[in-house]
Amino acid sequence: MSLGRLNHVGIAVPSLDEGVARYERMFGVTEISEVIELPEQGVRVRFVETPNSQIELLEPMGENSPVAKFLERHPQGGQHHVCFEVPDAHAAKAEFEAKGVRVLSPPRVGAHGTLVIFLHPKDMGGVLTELMEPVARA
Ligand code: CO
């Protein structure tokens, strides 16, 4: 399996509104997605468009949100994960497990509407790593 494009960098924020306002104020960014709710993953997200990628701002949703736990350790928020594209999430899961990497859940539908998996940060040099199937591009 080959490593695909860096799709986005995930950044945990205590408040999506404040997170979005910061990118607007600091960089004059105007292209920002609406709120996408992922209750299964305990997050509410918005994507800030950059010329070659996206920033995914993540706000906790619900008490058991992994992002809420992250914010307990980093109250200001901060870099949470990186996401690379892979052609097939199920194949990627099998391949990484065969390499001894813990995959955090079965492939499930992510914020882009395609299948994603997450690799345990302790097996990835401290970096929570998301792998997603790409969105069909025109
Ligand atoms: Co993500």
Domains held by the chain: number: 1
Q: For residue 138, tell me if it sits in a domain.
A: no
The pTM of this model reads 0.94
The confidence band for 138, taking pLDDT boundaries of 50, 70 and 90, is low
Measured in Å, residue 110 CA sits from the centre of ligand 1 at 8
Q: For residue 137, tell me if it sits in a domain.
A: no
Q: For residue 1, tell me if it sits in a domain.
A: no
pLDDT tens digits, one per residue of 70-108: 999 999 999 999 999 999 999 999 999 999 999 999 999
pLDDT for residue 137 is more than 80: no
Residues involved in catalysis: 130
Measured in Å, residue 121 CA sits from the centre of ligand 1 at 14
Quote the domain boundaries for residue 103. 7-132
**Pairwise CA distance, residues 109 & 130, whole Å:** 12
pLDDT for the residue numbered 16: 97
Q: What is the CATH number of the domain that holds 47?
A: 3.10.180.10
pLDDT for the residue numbered 136: 84
pLDDT for the residue numbered 63: 79
Tokens read off for 1:
């399996």
Q: For residue 110, tell me if it sits in a domain.
A: yes
Q: For residue 2, tell me if it sits in a domain.
A: no
Where is average pLDDT lowest: 26-30, 37-41, 53-57? 37-41
Measured in Å, residue 28 CA sits from the centre of ligand 1 at 23
